[in-house]
Amino acid sequence: MMKNIGLNGREMEVKSIPEVRIRVRFSGNIFCICNLCLFAASKERKELNQKTSRKNIGDKMTEHLTKQDFLDKVFNYEENEEWSYEGDVPAIIDFWADWCAPCKAVAPVLEELSEEYAGQLNVYKVNTEQEQELASVFGIRSIPSLLFIPTDGQPQMATGALPKDAFVQAIENVFGIKPVAQAAN
Cite the active site residues. 100, 103
- C-alpha 9/C-alpha 12 separation (Å) is 10
Please report which helix (H) or strand (E) contains residue 13, including its range: strand 10-15
Q: In Å, how far are 73, 84, 92, 124, 127 from 64, measured between CA atoms?
A: 12, 20, 12, 6, 8
- Among candidate residues 185, 182, 53, 184, the one with its CA nearest the CA of residue 113: 182
